[in-house]
């Protein structure tokens, strides 16, 4: 079993005092600017977190697909021209990895053409663009973490369309930051973490792929890191000086793990939680060939985030700390 990426969310609770949150321990607190930020995809798992943290940077107008649909070029141009933001943060995407194999045109419109149009409109009004991409732009043949300079080679439609979106933005020449993230999860919506918790209450046995290696990342940690990067590139006159640092950056915590191992840790860390009872007795590792899916996945997609740290002084907690925080804060 594997994750499906996408989600919609509810209100979060206050952090537990038993766990220190590394986000509050840094002196690099984002400063608020007189800027207007257009956020797309506000109902997604990353968009939900960004809508709540971006106001620490500036005034946020958060839109969902009903107002700004990346598959509708007219709605994109209309929204940007009406709002005239200083910064566009694009958290919207087509994320149904297997379904994309049958909905190629729609996936391409949302993940490739839409971001290109956002970039064009941003350039016309001298705005900057933040965009999110994926570890699935790689083919998984490496056995050491991928850097931004490594050749891409997506294995599925989802990865191909996300890579095309990156290229479309870069071709426009707008000031931009493209953040590649991997195995994103939250305590809301449809993702691997929530699927494991649900199935643990429904089944006695789970069979989980153990030969795909990556790094799980909490949506909240990605949103927080985005804000810290924006604080670093905030220039004079309430603009974002992103031109000199435009490019692709990997945004991921340290470490690596298989889906099977991740499931095991999730169940271990929630064993004493009040989850309404459990049936789960066994978690069995299996090979990818034993769990056929419509779309191929890379066997190895760990991202090296050193460039992000060197350029902006920003790093995410390792995946274990992120999970610990997610299970207590969310």
3-class SS at 115? helix
Examine residue 87 and state whether it is found in any structural domain, yes or no: yes
Examine residue 3 and state whether it is found in any structural domain, yes or no: no
Which tens digits make up the pLDDT trace of 276-330?
A: 567 788 999 999 999 999 999 999 999 999 999 999 999 999 999 999 999 987 5
Question: Can you give the residue range of the structural domain that contains 169?
Answer: 22-329
Examine residue 121 and state whether it is found in any structural domain, yes or no: yes
Which tens digits make up the pLDDT trace of 232-258?
A: 887 644 566 677 899 999 999 999 999
Examine residue 75 and state whether it is found in any structural domain, yes or no: yes
CATH of the domain at 313: 3.40.50.720
Which tens digits make up the pLDDT trace of 122-169?
A: 999 999 999 999 999 999 999 999 999 999 999 999 999 999 999 999
Q: Confirm whether 185 is a catalytic residue.
A: no
Q: Which of 158, 185, 249, 300 is catalytic?
A: 158
The C-alpha torsion from 190 through 19 and 11 to 229, rounded to 10°, is -80
pLDDT at 20: 46
Closest CA to 313 of 234, 225, 236, 242: 225
pLDDT at 279: 79
Examine residue 192 and state whether it is found in any structural domain, yes or no: yes
Angle 219-233/319-329 helices, nearest 10 degrees? 110
How many domains does the chain contain in total?
1
Average pLDDT, the chain: 88
Q: Model-level pTM?
A: 0.88
Which tens digits make up the pLDDT trace of 81-108?
A: 999 999 999 999 999 999 999 999 999 9
Examine residue 185 and state whether it is found in any structural domain, yes or no: yes
Closest CA to 110 of 93, 96, 86, 87: 93
**Six-digit token string for 14:** 């206050």
């Amino acid at each position: 079993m594997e994750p499906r990426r996408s989600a919609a969310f509810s209100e979060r609770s206050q952090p537990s005092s038993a766990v220190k949150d590394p986000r509050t321990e840094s002196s690099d607190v984002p400063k608020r600017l007189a800027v207007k930020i257009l956020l797309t995809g506000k109902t997604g798992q990353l968009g939900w977190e960004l809508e709540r943290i971006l106001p620490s940077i500036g005034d946020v107008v958060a839109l969902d697909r009903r107002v700004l649909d990346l598959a509708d070029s007219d709605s994109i141009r209309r929204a940007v021209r009406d709002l005239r933001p200083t910064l566009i943060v694009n958290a919207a995407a087509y994320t149904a990895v297997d379904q994309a194999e049958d909905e190629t045109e729609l996936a391409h419109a949302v993940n490739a053409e839409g971001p290109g149009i956002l970039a064009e409109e941003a350039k016309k009004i001298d705005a900057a663009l933040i965009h999110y991409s994926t570890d699935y732009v790689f083919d998984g043949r490496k056995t050491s973490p991928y850097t931004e300079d490594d050749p891409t080679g997506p294995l599925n439609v989802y990865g191909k369309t996300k890579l095309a979106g990156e290229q479309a933005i870069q071709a426009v020449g707008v000031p931009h930051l493209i953040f590649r993230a991997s195995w994103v999860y939250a305590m809301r919506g449809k993702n691997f973490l929530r699927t494991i918790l649900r199935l643990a209450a429904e089944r006695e046995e789970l069979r989980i792929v153990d030969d795909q290696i990556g790094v799980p990342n909490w949506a909240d940690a990605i949103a927080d890191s985005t804000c810290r990067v924006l604080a670093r590139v905030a220039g004079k006159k309430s603009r974002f000086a992103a031109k000199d640092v435009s490019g692709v950056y990997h945004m991921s915590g340290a470490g690596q793990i298989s889906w099977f191992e991740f499931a095991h840790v999730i169940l271990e860390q929630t064993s004493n939680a009040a989850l309404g009872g459990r049936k789960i007795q066994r978690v069995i590792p299996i090979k990818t060939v034993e769990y056929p899916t419509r779309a191929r996945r890379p066997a190895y997609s760990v991202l090296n985030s050193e460039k992000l740290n060197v350029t902006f002084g920003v790093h995410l907690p390792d995946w274990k700390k992120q999970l610990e925080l997610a299970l207590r804060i969310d």
